[in-house]
Amino acid sequence: MKTQAVMAVAFASTFAVATPATAQDRSDWPSTFTVGTASQGGTYFAYGSGWANFVAENLGVSGGAEITGGPVQNMALVHTGDLKFGLTTMGPARESMDGNSPLAPGMKMDNVCAMFPMYETPFSVTALSSSGITSIADIPDGATIGFGPAGSTSDTYFPRMMETLGVNFERRNGSWSDLGGQLQDGLIDVVAFAAGIPIPAVSQLEVQTDVNIIGMNDAEAETIISNFPVSEFIIPASTYQSLDAPSRVVSMWNFAMVNCDVSESFVYEITKLTMENNDKMVSIHKAARNSVPENYTKNNVLPWHPGAARWFNENGYPIEDSQIK
């Protein structure tokens, strides 16, 4: 799968923080870095490209985002060192660590380390209001459903979830922007997508047309939680103008990851910058409200990078030596 680099061009007035990184030996720092994100129009790309800008501006290292197939491919790219940084969800991370990645079956991707918590990814369903689809049970037999890019978290888990709930469908892949256009044009019936909220493409779509953002009922949520590595999540009504009430769905945690061989001092400074400037992170994307150190316990899959672990341990968030690469 091809990737596309989008280099960050940061402006001091936008992302600079008041206190720059302390002068230190940077002899083992990379001259540039790239962050694996996902498709344009999704939260990963917005979050990852903004974060790359933020790091580049404040640490003085050229950086940028790369459009990829999402968490599954990011795990592979970071493991091999093709990318130094990436964004992933805990489900694909576990499968990749165990050697069950659909991109490289049998390869245990164990040279990937956790850096900091990002946010939860809700699995949400969207349909046009004109379709009359207001619940998962309303999805017609044989409906065409867009599940996001091939190999993404959406594409890895959402089809299985739909099958578990008894939905019979035709599968379509693409970015949210592409699938949103197909939905609006009547080429597909439903978009079932996993991304941090608000999803930029959904916010744009509901300005252009009336949409239904569909949650799960009690029985559906219980069935999915008992069969997949997810937990219950409530999408606040204020997230989208189309919601009149909170919407119950399920979610999976996301973490920023790094190749385990990247300089300890570089990763320490990145972790420090990110964890100590949540207001700047939230200005990049609202999902970063949950990019706070207290959520470090949500990682139960990846070993911690020594540089990241040092910052957490210094600041009262203990990580045992056995959890550090």
CATH number of the domain where residue 280 is located: 3.40.190.10
Share of the chain above pLDDT 70, in %: 93
What is the mean pLDDT of the segment spanning 3-27?
Answer: 56
Lowest mean pLDDT across 151-155, 178-182, 260-264, 270-274: 151-155
> Domain range spanning residue 310?
4-119+255-323
Could you tell me the pTM of the whole model?
0.80
Beta-carbon-side half-sphere exposure of residue 278 (alpha carbons within 13 Å): 15
Q: How many domains in the chain?
A: 2
Task: Pick from 126-135, 200-209, 221-230 the range whose average pLDDT is largest.
Answer: 126-135
26 and 100 fall within a common domain: yes
Average pLDDT, the chain: 92
Among candidate residues 251, 268, 286, the one where a domain is terminated: 251
Question: Quick one: pLDDT at residue 12?
Answer: 38
Distance separating alpha carbons of residues 239 and 235, to the nearest angstrom:
7
**Residues above pLDDT 90, as percent of the chain:** 81
Q: Are residues 107 and 52 in the same domain?
A: yes
Residues 293 and 208 in one domain: no
Q: Where are the alpha helices (DSSP H) in the chain?
A: 12-15, 43-59, 71-80, 90-97, 153-164, 176-184, 200-208, 218-227, 264-275, 278-284, 306-314
Selection from 53, 47, 98, 52 nearest residue 72 by Cα: 98
> Which of 251, 272, 300 corresponds to the end of one domain?
251
Q: Check whether residue 125 and residue 101 sit in a common domain.
A: no
What number of other Cβ atoms are within 10 A of residue 203's Cβ? Answer: 14
Q: Who has greater pLDDT, 41 or 31?
A: 31
- The two three-digit tokens of residue 284, written as one number: 């990049």
Mean pLDDT of all residues in 72-82: 96
pLDDT band at 10 (very low <50, low <70, confident <90, very high): very low
